[in-house]
Each structure stands twice: as structure tokens, then as C-alpha cells.
Amino acid sequence: MCQAGEARRPLPLMFVWLSACLAAVCFLSLLFGAGEIGPGASLSSLLGMREGAAQHAEEAAFVIHELRLPRTMLGLVVGMALGVAGALLQAVARNPLAEPGLLGVSAGSAFAVAIALMLGASAATLRVSVAQLGALGGCLCVLAAARMRGVGNDPVRLVLAGAVLSGLLGALTSMILLVDQRTADEIRFWIVGSLAGRHLEDLQAILPSLALAGVITLLIGRPLAALALGERVAVGLGHHPRLVRLLAIGVVALLVGATTAVAGPIAFVGLVVPFAARALAGPDIRRTLWLCLPLGPLVVIGADIVSRLVVQPSELPLGVLTALIGAPVLILVVRSQRLPTL
């Protein structure tokens, strides 16, 4: 662990800085919204000042506590999960472009939920585990593709396969939605990917699996770092590459499935966040993972705030904004002369 300290910037300091930024963004997320409660009213409500009509103040308190607070909490959780999932998937696939949304993992999970609903499951109960199963299926499909001849050593080709897979699954999902009206009504607002209108109970449903994912991630951090040096080195150091990879894929499925279950499919976060984290922390996967924790929510909540403000009084789907941020990063990575190998 101590060798990690020899990189240029000390990790704890960066972590504290980013967390401070995150706290500021969370505060902003409580202040701004698409509705009539502006930053001034929100601030006075948060500070406990009762100015103006009592009804107005009550309305502000309601909006903040019942709408914006759950939303911000959800953004925190979703951001962390997607950031970590992206970093892990990239480490396993040894490919800086591997991103759950791009590779069809989120699409697989959304497709699984749509199928389950069509077969008669009710939205409230089944969703999380079904979404996680779908995510696992998506992961396995893509990694099977990566193992095929000619694809594994070309990072870009893997992304192409993933893009095709997610396009296919997306088309199948929209076909189900068109044919089955009940399913469409149940998940119409969920399928576009958004943090709006969720409750704290939704969050509670996914916390156990996220905790499990967190514990496993802590355990496989070291072996993953060794794996980055090559299969033989990892075996020589006493690790089991196959087991580690399987565990990492399981974690990705848990994380992506859980976030998709509450917030719908959100692409590109898992690309942007590890990209930024690697730029800050260097190649060590453990350092990258730590920085993904504050960076992920920073991106997600920041994008969510913008999505409330640009088309007032309505809102944008979050996926639109993450695509606008993420696609240029994708192009940037592809354009760089030498793709960094992981």
C-alpha cells in the first residue's frame, strides 16, 4: 500500500478537496430547481428564517425536504456506484473505453426489467434483483465478445460491439414498450434515465447490495492492481486472476443493476469519472477507485443541476446531459495517439 504514496500528489489531500467540492455541489443542488422556489427562498428556508407568507415558507420546506433532498442523496449514491463500476469494468477488460452504458450493461439491465414487467411482475418488488441479473447478462455478453479472436486486443472494436449490443437491446426494449401498454405506463419515466421523482425508499432498497459491492471492492483492490501488471505477475504474487475477474464482474453487475433499478440507464458517467480519476491519481486502480467516490457524484449531481436549469420550467433527462459531457471525452480518448493500456 505504501508504494502508492510515491506518485506526485498525495491521495488524501485530493480526496478531501474533491469531497469539499462535492459538498458545495450538494448544497447547490438543494438551492436550485426547475420550479418556482428560487435559490433565495431555498436558502432562507434552509437557514430556518420564516420570511414572507407562512404558506410560501412551508412550500419551500416541502420542496427541499421531499423533492430535492432525496434527489441529491440519489445522485450521491448513483454517482459513486457508476464511477466505481466504470473503473472496475475498465480494469477487468483492460480497456479505457469500457463503460457500463456504452458496453450494453445498463441496456441489458433495462431490458431485463422490461421483460419482467411484461411477464407480469409488479414494478415495486422485483426490480432491483432483476436489473442486477440483466446487468450481469450484459457484462458476460460483452466480455465473451472481448475474448473472441481479433476483438480482445483492439479496445475500439470492443466498444463497437458494445454499442451494437446496447442498440439492439434498446430497440427490443422499446418494442416491448410499444406492444405492452401496461409496461410502458410503469416505466415510461424510468427508462430515460433520471433522478427526478424518486423516494428515499427506493434508495433503501438498493443499499444492501451496494454495501456488499463496496466490501468486495475493498477486498479485490490489491489483486486488481497486481493484475494490471499482467496475468503471470498476479499469479506469482499469489492471486487468482479468474476469481478476481469474476468477483469484479459481479460487483459491476451489482452496482450497475442497482443504479439502473432506481435511476434508469445512464450512460457515459462510467467513462468520464474514471478518466478524470486516472488523470488525477495515476494508473493505480486503488487510488483511482478512491477518487471515483467523490468524482462520480460530482459529475452526476452537477449534470442533474444543469438538467433542471436549462429548460425551465420543464427538465431534461439526465442521460442527455451525461451524453453531452461524455461523448467528447470518448472522442478525446479515441483520438489520443496511443490508447493507454490498462
Partner 1 sequence: MDLSSSSVMSHDAPQTDGAMQASRDEAQVAPPTGSWRLPLPFSAAHAVLLDKRSVSANLLLGGLLAVVALLSLCLGSALISPLAAIRALLGQGDAMAVFVVQELRLARLMAGLLTGAAFALAGCLMQTLARNRLATPGIIGIDNGATAFAVASVVGLGISLAPPPMSLAGAAVATAITFGLAGGAGTRGYRFIVAGIGVGAVFGALTQLLLARVAIDVANSAYPWTVGSLNARSGDAVLILGVGLAVGVVIAQLLARSMAVLRFSDAVAQGLGIRVRLCRLLALALAVGLTALAVAVAGPVGLVALIGPEIARHLSSRRGVPLVGSALAGAVLMVAADLAGRLLFAPIEIPVGIVTAVVGGPFLLWILLRPAARDLT
Binds partner 1 (CB under 8 A): choice among 30, 41, 81, 97: 97
Does 100 bind partner 1 (CB under 8 A)? Our answer is no
Binding mask 264-303 for partner 1 (x = CB under 8 A): ---xx-----------------------------------
C-alpha cell at 263: 435511476
Distance of CA 7 to the CA centre of its chain: 27
Site for partner 1 (CB under 8 A): how many residues? 44
Q: Which stretch binds partner 1 (CB under 8 A): 18-26, 59-67, 114-122, 141-149?
A: 141-149
Q: CA–CA separation, 184 vs 180, rounded Å? A: 6
Binds partner 1 (CB under 8 A): choice among 16, 49, 175, 309: 175
User: Are 130 and 262 in contact, with CB atoms under 8 Å apart?
Assistant: no
Q: CA–CA separation, 205 vs 202, rounded Å? A: 5
Does 314 bind partner 1 (CB under 8 A)? Our answer is yes
Residue closer to partner 1, measured from CB, 21 or 339 = 339
Residue closer to partner 1, measured from CB, 80 or 316 = 316
Binding mask 40-79 for partner 1 (x = CB under 8 A): ----------------------------------------
Alpha-carbon torsion (104, 267, 300, 325), positive or negative: positive
Q: Which residue has the cell 451496494?
A: 210
Cα dihedral value 223, 224, 228, 233, nearest 10 = 20
Q: CA–CA separation, 38 vs 233, rounded Å? A: 57
Does 87 bind partner 1 (CB under 8 A)? Our answer is no
* Of residues 318, 281, 273, 315, the one with CA closest to residue 298: 273
Name the site residues for partner 1 (rule: CB under 8 A). Answer: 97, 145, 148-151, 154, 156-157, 159-161, 163-165, 167-168, 170-172, 174-175, 178-179, 267-268, 310-311, 314-317, 319-321, 323-324, 326-328, 330-331, 334-335
